[in-house]
């Protein structure tokens, strides 16, 4: 992907925001009784693990290595 100014347009950099939004959405749907409490208790750790994996893969972005 091309860099525009100082921001990279690579979709991998948007994943942290997506995880945060989905994490909040799970708790919101649980609070509104759309999701059962057991479902919420299963889903939120999955998003935490995905966020951790994203942090572990942080250095593997090919577009940021090109200077």
For 6-45, letters b (16+ CB in 10 Å) and e give: eebeeebeeeeeebeeebeebeeebeeeebeeeebeebee
Taking the model in full, what pTM does it have? 0.66
The structural domains of the chain, with segments of one domain joined by +, span 13-58
Please write the tens of the pLDDT for every residue from 8-46: 767 777 777 888 888 899 999 999 999 999 999 999 999
Residue 1 has pLDDT above 90, yes or no: no
Q: Where are the alpha helices (DSSP H) in 1-67?
A: 15-31, 37-56, 62-65
């Amino acid at each position: 992907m091309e860099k525009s100014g100082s921001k990279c347009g690579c979709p991998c950099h948007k994943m942290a925001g997506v995880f945060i939004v989905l994490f909040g959405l799970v708790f919101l749907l649980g609070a509104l009784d759309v999701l059962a409490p057991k479902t919420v208790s299963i889903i939120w750790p999955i998003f935490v693990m995905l966020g951790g994996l994203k942090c572990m893969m942080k250095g593997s972005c090919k577009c940021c290595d090109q200077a």
